[in-house]
Structure 1
Amino acid sequence: MTVRRDAGIYGYERALRRAGLEPIAGVDEAGRGACAGPLVAGAVILPPGKAGIVPGLADSKLLTEAARERVYAQVVRRALAWSVVVIDNEECDRLGMHVANLEALRRAVARLGTRPSYVLTDGFPVDGLGVPGLAVWKGDRVAACIAAASVIAKVTRDRLMVGLHDEWPDYDFRTHKGYITADHEAALAQHGPCPLHRMRFVNVRRAAGLEPVPGAEVASLGSTPDSTTEEDR
């Protein structure tokens, strides 16, 4: 299977359909690089043809909040099937972020109402999906079903974090969504971690007066909800 560089965001799905592989699911997560709040994974199967062309679809991190909401509504309306999975911060701590990420992606695919014949993942392969798959470098920018999944995951997570702001207003979760910013770091230093923080992260443990644990996660200052970081991949 060959996908031309100029094939556009729907090129992977068209090539797979020509090879007789359909339906095709894309899966992606949001919140891996955050040090507070849940990890959220989305999975989407878009229909072939014009019905599967989502106006404004792009990598969720490249869209404004308003644009993401519009695309989210279109994906939900057009998708043959979609699902979303939320893994809370305590399970992230128990599993570690990489294992939690893989588990979230597997669960999202498993919850699809339509079983895919092929799965596209963003950046790295995911085993245990039950069907063949392909890891696509920067997949949320070049494959429509992954981009759609990234929008589903990010909008869901952002809504959750905004809702949690009223419960924990000292941390301003509605602004940074649990990612590390200067203001979030200052709030951690002043108030210490709250029950939403991930205790495997070095900066959270430091704020709690605890020593780092082996394999502790590192959150980068300046890693905002709308930027691509190593933890987000």
Structure 2
Amino acid sequence: MTPPARPATKPAPTRAPDALWTMEGSLRRRGFTAVAGADEAGRGACAGPLVAAACILPAGRRGRVPGLADSKLLTPATRERVYAEVVARAVAWSVVVVDVPELDARGMHVTNIEALRRAVSTLSVTPDYVLTDGFPVSGLAQPTLAVWKGDRVSACVAAASVLAKVTRDRMMVDLHHRFPHYEFDVHKGYITDLHTAALDSFGPCPEHRHRFVNVARARDAHAARTRGGVMVDDGAVHPSPTPVEVPR
């Protein structure tokens, strides 16, 4: 008996190759020549800085950056290649770094919006229009639009996402050399089983964000275990000649 034919499967939708540049093209036809995109990297990490970037790509073929896509969809090697292309081709680009003390003092959302605003305002070319990834950014002189998953639908936002991600990943690799116990070069400060195990063993280092519940919990647990010790840049606890007050 001949088995019944399998039902035909609907092919997965494919994105047109030019779709990433459609939004900027539409804005340029309306008279907005310089369209900037802004995005950030590190918002969800519990360690390391927040990095925001802004980018204006040129119109035409020069603005068609080979391999450009949302930075999270690219391999590290491809991100590096796209980063170099963006830097070489961009009309203007900027990167802003917010360190951990400011993140802990002011809170993530406030500093995130401020970082995006600063990234746009420090561009060497004043944009006519600004596209931001996800969050609306107030206080800009230009008309602006927050685009849901903007790094997947707008070329200039995708370019900004690559600038921010590559910059931050490089910084996390540098932090790995200062605090090797945490293996920041692997997880880049995000919450993973590897990172959680290191936090449980060593407690947080100065590059951990204490507003995160997991960091605060590890801090308190580690402090209770290491009375009379202090943590230094190598991430280990060393004996102290004098008692150290443990916060309660």
TM-score tier, shorter chain, comes to 0.7 to 0.9
Aligned partners of 1:108 and 1:49: how far apart in 2?
24
- Extract structure 1 runs of 4+ deviating beyond 2 A: none
Q: 2: distance between equivalents of 1:33 and 1:206?
A: 17
1:151 to 162, 174, 180: 162
Distance between the aligned counterparts of 1:15 and 1:144, measured in 2? 12
Q: 2:246 aligns to what?
A: none
Which residue does 1:72 correspond to in 2?
83
Where 1:40 maps in the other structure, the secondary structure is strand
- The residue correspondences of 1:75-154 to structure 2 (distance < 5 A) are 75-154=86-165
Distance 1:205 1:124 in 2: 27
Cα distance in 2, alignment partners of residues 129 and 76 from structure 1: 24
| RMSD of Structure 2 on Structure 1 (CA) | 1.1
- Deviation digits for residues 44-86 of structure 1, max 9, x if unmatched? 0000001111000000000000000000000000000000000
Kindly report which structure 2 residues correspond to 1:27-46, keeping only aligned pairs within 5 A, or say none: 27-46=38-57
Cα distance in 2 for partners of 1:30, 1:199 equals 18
Q: Please tell me the residue identity of whatever aligns with 2:155.
A: A
Q: Which runs of 5+ in 2 are unaligned?
A: 1-14, 222-248
Give the structure 2 partner of residue 178 of structure 1: 189
1:124 CA drift (Å): 2.0
Gaps of 5+ in 1: 211-233
Choose from 203, 221, 226 the match for 1:192. Answer: 203
Q: Which structure exhibits the higher relative contact order, with contacts defined as CA atoms closer than 8 Å and separated by 6 or more residues?
A: 1
SS at match of 2:197: helix
- Across the two proteins, how many residue pairs are aligned to each other? 206
Aligned AA for 1:134?
L
Q: Percent identical across equivalent pairs?
A: 67
Q: Bigger radius of gyration, 1 or 2?
A: 2
Q: Could you tell me how far 1:123 is from its partner in structure 2?
A: 1.2
Q: Deviations over 1:153-212 (max 9, x none)?
A: 0000000000110100010000000001001001101100100000100000000118xx
Aligned residue among 156, 160, 163 for 2:171 = 160
Deviation track 1:95-139 (CA, whole Å, cap 9, x = no partner) reads: 101111001101100110000010000112111122110111110
TM-score by length of 2: 0.81
Tell me, yes or no, if structure 1 residue 20 matches structure 2 residue 21. Answer: no
Q: TM-score, normalised by structure 1?
A: 0.87
